[in-house]
Amino acid sequence: MLYSALLCPLSILPILSLSFPLEENGVDGGPIAIPIFGMSERAFKEPDPEVGKRLEKWTETSDVNPEEYGEYLEGDILMPSVSRNGLVAETYRWKNGEIPYEIAGAFPPDSLSMIHRAMDLYKKYTCVSFRKRLPTDESYISITNTKTGCWSSVGRVGGKQELNLQSPSCTTKLGTPVHELMHAAGFLHEQNRNERDDFVSIIWGNIQSGHERNFDKAEKGTAQGYGVNYDFKSVMHYSSTAFSTNGQPTIVSKDPKYSEKMGQRDGFSKGDITKINAMYNCPEKTAAVTNGGATGTGGEGGKPSGEKDGSSNPFMQAASHLLSLFINKKK
């Protein structure tokens, strides 16, 4: 399968259909013809209970993210088996950035709250929104809670597509449902960008045997950027020890100051916001919430770093005080 659609190794996969450049690590507004033959079998596996058993050992202090426990394509990408039919499957953006969903799994209240908080972030910072599925919706995501890990399809694949969030591991940190929902919106992993070797080194000797393909990168010329530089702080970036066989790093930043930033799951980075809004054609939303910033970091509770907090800004405090005096005087 063509990497730019689903991050597969291009060295052994023929490009069967491509009439336009694809955009960075996102699925362009196609349809995109995705060659099925040659794609990693991991993309079409059945959900695996063994993944769920391993994930039960995950804790909030673990060195890796819960979605990195998977045996699926790149750990957490799982396409519906219906996509095998015919020679190609087509992946689209969601019309008007509106993603219908249903909660099909039995989630405890705190997990359900975390999922809704993740959806609220999209509404607040992007022009992608989630709404409850209507009977007339043919394409929608079905959010499940099976003991098979954290996983999602990429983009709108047509019909019902499952997105699994194994509770509590996949619903402990806000950034995990944000990550899987961003896959569903049409985005792929950050560290697989073509230019990643300018920013990070992949330590192949530390990668678990059989998981090397998770680190394949896009072929040059098949992807273009949204004007966002390589984003260590993206919620779509692997942690530094993802798929490690010995606990040692598999991804090492060439700039030491970014070493601690990889794999955050607190929320969007400014770069994530910029890319989502570029894909769904609302750059003005990015300017409104990030002051035009192109990159940034996930912040606590999903607030992108750089967002102004009036409560701690002395100028805002002074303005608020003057406004209060004016209002009192008018009274």
Residues serving a catalytic function are 180
Q: What's the chain's Rg over C-alpha atoms?
A: 20
Q: Is the peptide bond before 49 cis (omega within 30 degrees of 0)?
A: no
321 among annotated binding-site residues: no
Q: How far apart are CA 263 and CA 241, in angstroms?
A: 9
Cβ–Cβ under 8 Å, residues 164 and 184: no
Q: How far apart are CA 68 and CA 151, in angstroms?
A: 10
Please enumerate in sequence order all residues whose Cβ is within 8 A of that of 199, keeping only pairs 6 or more positions apart, or say none: 230, 232, 253, 254, 255, 258
189 among annotated binding-site residues: yes
116 among annotated binding-site residues: no
Alpha-carbon 92 to chain mean position: 16
Alpha-carbon 169 to chain mean position: 17
Q: Which of 228, 294, 297 is nearest to 25 (CA)?
A: 228
Q: Determine how many CB atoms are found less than 10 A away from the CB of residue 193.
A: 24
Cβ–Cβ under 8 Å, residues 216 and 246: no
Binding site as annotated, residues for Zn(2+): 179, 183, 189
